[in-house]
Amino acid sequence: MNLDDAISAHANWKMKLAAYISKPDRSLTASTVGASGACELGKWLYGEGHQYSKLPEFSKLVSDHARFHKAAAAVIEKANAGQGVTEEIALGSKSEFSSASSAVVKSLMAMKAHV
């Protein structure tokens, strides 16, 4: 897996969630979005990337990635419940989603230095 592609794919989640919360159609569920092993990066982490599991950067990436999916699932859950989630509150720079997303990118960059 190309980690640069993983960073780009990860960044696309913010745009996907922003579009979704503006018109939640229930096409996304919190349980699906919360599954950290189902996305491309998750498949790599639990598949071929597991060969790097002894690196401290790897365990940090796994942890940050799970945190990201949990935060994204929380956004989906609120949107699907009709709680009127705004983009700034859900995805803004002070949100848990944004913080978790930044942590994943930093961890991916640290892994890239070793892979």
Over residues 55-70, the pLDDT tens digits come to 999 999 999 999 999 9
Answer whether residue 73 shows pLDDT above 80. Answer: yes
**Rounded Cα gap, residues 7 and 43, in angstroms:** 14
With contact defined as beta carbons under 8 Å apart, do 113 and 3 qualify? Answer: no
Domain spanning 3-114: CATH superfamily: Aspartate receptor, ligand-binding domain (1.20.120.30)
Q: Output the pLDDT for position 33.
A: 94
What is the distance in angstroms between the CA of the first residue and the CA of the last residue of the chain? 10
What pTM was estimated for this model as a whole? 0.89
Q: Output the pLDDT for position 27.
A: 95
With contact defined as beta carbons under 8 Å apart, do 20 and 82 qualify? Answer: no
**Rounded Cα gap, residues 69 and 53, in angstroms:** 20
Burial 73-101 (b: 16+ CB within 10 A, else e): bbbbbbbbeeeebeeeebbeeebbbeebb
Q: Where are the domains of the chain?
A: 3-114
